[in-house]
Amino acid sequence: MLRRTLTALLALQLALLPTLSTPAFAVSRIKDVADVEGVRENMLVGYGLVVGLNGTGDSLRNAPFTLQSLQAMLERLGVNTRGANLSTGNVAAVMVTASLPPFSTQGSHIDVTVSALGDAKSLQGGTLLVTPLLGADANIYAVAQGQVAISGFTAQGQGQTVTRGVPTSGRISAGAIVEREIRFDLAAMSSLRLALRNPDLTTAQRVVEAINTFIGAKAASATDPATIRLTVPQGYPGGIVRLLTDIEQLRVDPDMPAKVIVDEASGIIVMGSDVRVSTVAIAQGNLTIRITEMPQVSQPEPFSEGRTTVTPQTEIQINDSHDRKLAVMHSGVSLQELVNGLNALGVGPRDMISILQAIKAAGALQAEIQVM
């Protein structure tokens, strides 16, 4: 009897284990659904030269900007090459890009991306020379230099060329030094705004309620579906920095509108969980005609005066999808039921795109279709 009871309790625990380990809601932290005003990256760009290439650089005749940059660089180093016939293939003009993280201090390092500007075949083994990186205000915020690391390569022979990845683009890890800081005194602010990454009225209100409930005062208010005004309460210790630290770990259940994302170029379809379909009947069928040519060579008999002829052999296959049936999608079916029903018809991704657009045109799809 005791053994039977223990066995029953063990079975009950195993049955409840998936339920206990599965969260009730797909909650997210506030720091994952909203951005803080002023805490942002800044784009940097620069123009430079990569040297040390093994004959895979720009051809100076086709890339005059590379020739001019090379001559100007040599003149700055005290070498006069004006009027000389330069024909080196070991130099490439590149664009250097980087993102300056928020609150970066002078002397810190950031990663940079190097991309060929001319007709260079590969940047493998190249070294980027000192390149100033400018912001949108034309001021220099960082200086980049270093060995370029690429993930692609090109191998070429007399009859074949193999290219894997992109050999004309690479990265330099910690390849730039920050020279100018962007001042932003966050600690001195008494209020700021939170910007939702996916604007939604319901999500904004849930974030406001979570913050005010945690603080115990009206510290947050939604001004529109994408913006939440955050104010430091009187006497709150630590100011705005402490307030952001306390609320960023709060969890909310973000809401989103019913939407279907369609990429016709690749045939990708992404549907939200709230997509619903009213009662509608769907039938799908395509007429496919496949023609295969298999010519046969007819040889004459030995020692005869006949000719070698080619006899055409044509095979035609017709598929009119006569086995496809009409399916009925009842009102309020879920995303899973919709997908299962279309898969039961043998519908591929590209045909499914046309069906979804037809359902939307009929007014039976309760969702927005966004074509990329």
**154 neighbors 167 (Cβ within 8 angstroms):** yes
The two tokens of residue 316 are: 């035609």
In 3-state terms, what secondary structure has residue 133?
Answer: strand
Q: Helix 239-247 crosses helix 201-215 at what angle (to 10 degrees)?
A: 110
Helix, strand, coil in percent for the chain, rounding step 5: 25, 35, 40
Predicted pLDDT of residue 176: 97
Sign of the Cα pseudo-torsion (315, 349, 279, 329, in order): positive
Can you name the residues that pair with 309 across neighbouring β-strands? 298
Report DSSP state, residue 54: S
Sign of the Cα pseudo-torsion (232, 233, 239, 244, in order): negative
**150 neighbors 165 (Cβ within 8 angstroms):** yes
Gap between the Cα atoms of 99 and 79, Å rounded: 34
State percent of the chain over pLDDT 70. 76
Predicted pLDDT of residue 36: 92
The two tokens of residue 289 are: 């005609």
**34 neighbors 207 (Cβ within 8 angstroms):** yes
Residue 158 Cα distances to 53, 55, 185, angstroms:
21, 17, 62
Predicted pLDDT of residue 23: 41
- Tokens 């490439």 correspond to what residue? 92
**260 neighbors 368 (Cβ within 8 angstroms):** yes
Predicted pLDDT of residue 153: 67
Predicted pLDDT of residue 317: 62
Q: For the chain, what is the radius of gyration of the CA atoms?
A: 33
Gap between the Cα atoms of 346 and 281, Å rounded: 15
Predicted pLDDT of residue 322: 56
**122-136 as b/e: b if 16+ CB within 10 A:** bbbebebbebbbebe
Amino acid making up residue 206 = R
Gap between the Cα atoms of 263 and 266, Å rounded: 6
pLDDT values of the chain reduced to their tens digit, one per residue, 372 residues? 434 443 443 444 444 444 343 344 468 999 999 999 889 899 999 999 999 998 889 998 888 898 889 888 988 888 887 777 788 889 999 999 999 999 999 999 999 999 999 999 899 999 999 999 999 999 999 999 999 998 876 666 666 777 777 889 999 999 999 999 998 888 888 899 999 999 999 999 999 999 999 998 899 999 999 999 999 998 888 889 999 999 999 999 998 888 888 887 777 788 777 777 777 666 656 545 455 656 777 777 776 666 777 777 666 565 555 555 555 555 556 666 767 766 776 667 777 777 777 777 877 777 888 877
Domain segments of the chain as ranges: 42-79+87-178, 186-252, 260-301+308-371
Predicted pLDDT of residue 357: 79
Predicted pLDDT of residue 19: 39
Predicted pLDDT of residue 318: 53
**331 neighbors 365 (Cβ within 8 angstroms):** no
**230 neighbors 219 (Cβ within 8 angstroms):** yes
Predicted pLDDT of residue 51: 95
